[in-house]
Amino acid sequence: MTVDDPFAHLHDEDYAAAFSRGWAGADTLFDPAGRTGTSLDGEWTLTLDPYDEGLRQRWFELDDDPPERWTVPRDYDPAGGDRVPVPSCWNLLKPEWKHYEGAVWYARHFDHSGATPERRFILHFGAANYAARVFLNGRFVGAHRGGSTPFSLDATNALRPGANRLMVHVENRRRDDRVPMSHFDWFNYGGLHRGVTLFEFPQAHIRRFRIAWHDGAIRVVADCGGTSPRLRIPELGIDAILDGGRGVFAATPEFWSPDRPKLYDIELSLGPDICRERVGFRDVRVDGTRILLNGAPIRLKGACVHEDDVATGRCSDAADIARRLAHVKELGGNFLRLSHYPHDPRVARMADEAGVLLWAEIPVYWAIDFANAETYADAENQLRELIARDINRASVILWGVGNENADTDLRLSFMSRLAATAKRDDPTRLVSAACLVNRREFRIEDRLADALDVIGLNEYFGWYEPDIRDLKRLLANSTPDKPVIVSETGADAVAGLRANDGRLFTEDKQARFYADQVAALRGCDYVQGLAAWLLYDFRSERRQTRFQRGWNRKGLIAEDKATRKLAFGALRDAWRDW
């Protein structure tokens, strides 16, 4: 706003672009790695801003004066906003916010002793769906896009001694150029749905590091500005200075596996900056159509799961995650596909402890704008942030680069580049995607398979395609030269709805479906896994019949995360000896 034109903010200047330059991304991501900061979770205020008025009017520059001291009228009053918890999804905080998709302003104060030249201060956000613009004491400190990955912003120059005001503009519009785009089968929760933390570091610190067993040795690379940190793994007798942040150690660790999820305490330190982690070492690779874990063939048995909760939406807590992992084990499984976006980082940590293998993915879902370079940049960044975040988690064995995307030239180029990026950033894991099949030839065939290690196959024979015999036909007609895992299959059932006559949406039909599925897969030697679609019923506004009313009902367990449907037991029994 200029003084000579007091109405400048009403003209359609490119206000959003001013706060969309230099998106924070994977290259600046900092990994807390066991260090504790100051949590900024707790009570914030929240104000809806459906017209993006706040960016136009620069609400972030307003002072905190109470109304009795205002000399001109205002359209925003942070202290007058609704009091809300962070993390949270706003949709579940007030009934009238349930379907709100747009911008909001979060605000809170916190006290601080202020920055000093020898210290760095990093604001770390677990995730904000979808775009976030962050202002500290009236200054723009950075922006991020992508609703499920973490980001870090340097707050050193904006911090003040005493009271600090932090404001975050979060906006979750569904748009065709986003990842996911405007059309997807889950609920579009908005908000700061993971924690916010302020970290303080000496100038020389460890931004992040990667440690893995690979090609016969433990290999470490630390991003710490070329300095030489100290690595300690007491149980393996390793205590060494990593020259320039790199090291290779001949060691014979006990391998991590679902049966024996052995983790080692490791410590990486640079002066007073100390990272502490528990890390498992293991080897995963593909040999022909087999998947080998620590040299032995392994079949992945488990389920997909959304991050969704009746009360908290996409926010998870440790008890919720522990229940998820326990349910997989109760099902007789060893595997979870974290659909369709990066889940809470505690999932992989707890899966490391519990011994559950994970497929982690980004929401390159259905009809992404594959021609759009900005969309690609966003997708690639989400992938790289996910990889950077979970790189030290033994449980994560597969990166998923997309789900059910039609086999076009543009998609092939977009997703091959993503697969190559995953390989470049992380040569120690497998890359997959949930593919469609060649309908004309009726076989498992996708040009993207050349860029993948494992072919994911989403199939609903016996449900959307009613004849289960077609699955056998498809399998018999296909000769993949890589392992295939059924990355989704399932049928809807309303918990408690019973009928023995094959009626859709009954528990009986869903149970029969899984028995038929496993029977059809038996004997097919290239299918190395099955992820049921899915563990729990979840919200989806695409689903509006009397059986659904806004819920996808394909859970083996109802949305209360307790009521097991018949299919739960049917699947557990059917694949016991598979």
Kindly list the residues in this chain that would bind ligand GCB in the complex (CB under 6 A): 185, 340, 403-404, 458, 488, 533, 552, 554
State which residue, 185 or 445, has the beta carbon closest to ligand GCB: 185
State which residue, 49 or 185, has the beta carbon closest to ligand GCB: 185
Written as six digits, the tokens of 10 are: 């009403």
DSSP character string of 66-114: -GGG-SS--S--GGGSEEEEES--GGGTSGGGTT--SEEEEEEEEEE--
Across the beta sheet with 119-125, the strand order is 38-39, 196-202, 119-125, 151-154
Q: Can you tell me whether residue 243 is helix, strand or coil?
A: helix
Please, what is the minimum distance in Å from the beta carbon of residue 305 to ligand GCB? Answer: 12
State which residue, 133 or 554, has the beta carbon closest to ligand GCB: 554
Determine the distance from the C-alpha atom of residue 279 to the mean position of all C-alpha atoms in its chain, rounded to a whole number: 20
State which residue, 324 or 554, has the beta carbon closest to ligand GCB: 554
Q: Which residues contact 226 (CB under 8 A, 6 or more apart)?
A: 244, 245
Measured between alpha carbons, how far is residue 543 from residues 184, 368, 507 in Å?
A: 11, 21, 18
| Integer Cα distance of 479 and 144 in angstroms | 43
Sequence length of the chain is 578
Strands (E), 422-566: 430-435, 454-458, 484-488, 527-532, 538-539, 551-552
Please, what is the minimum distance in Å from the beta carbon of residue 186 to ligand GCB? Answer: 7
Please, what is the minimum distance in Å from the beta carbon of residue 366 to ligand GCB? Answer: 8
| Integer Cα distance of 551 and 553 in angstroms | 6
State which residue, 201 or 463, has the beta carbon closest to ligand GCB: 463
| Integer Cα distance of 320 and 536 in angstroms | 12
| Integer Cα distance of 531 and 208 in angstroms | 32
State which residue, 140 or 533, has the beta carbon closest to ligand GCB: 533
Give the dihedral of Cα atoms 140, 115, 205, 108; nearest 10 deg: -50
Please, what is the minimum distance in Å from the beta carbon of residue 382 to ligand GCB? Answer: 17
What DSSP element (H or E) covers 387?
Answer: helix 373-390
Secondary structure, 3-state, 171-218: ECCCCCCCCCCCCCCCCCCCECCCCEEEEEEECCCCCEEEEEEECCEE
State which residue, 218 or 304, has the beta carbon closest to ligand GCB: 304
Please, what is the minimum distance in Å from the beta carbon of residue 94 to ligand GCB? Answer: 27
Please, what is the minimum distance in Å from the beta carbon of residue 490 to ligand GCB? Answer: 6
Determine the residue with CB nearest ligand GCB. Answer: 185
Please, what is the minimum distance in Å from the beta carbon of residue 527 to ligand GCB? Answer: 17
Please, what is the minimum distance in Å from the beta carbon of residue 552 to ligand GCB? Answer: 5
Q: Cα angle vertex 339, ends 345, 459, to 5°?
A: 155
State which residue, 181 or 270, has the beta carbon closest to ligand GCB: 181
| Integer Cα distance of 487 and 446 in angstroms | 15
State which residue, 169 or 340, has the beta carbon closest to ligand GCB: 340
State which residue, 133 or 306, has the beta carbon closest to ligand GCB: 306
Please, what is the minimum distance in Å from the beta carbon of residue 154 to ligand GCB? Answer: 37
| Integer Cα distance of 485 and 164 in angstroms | 51
Please, what is the minimum distance in Å from the beta carbon of residue 531 to ligand GCB? Answer: 11
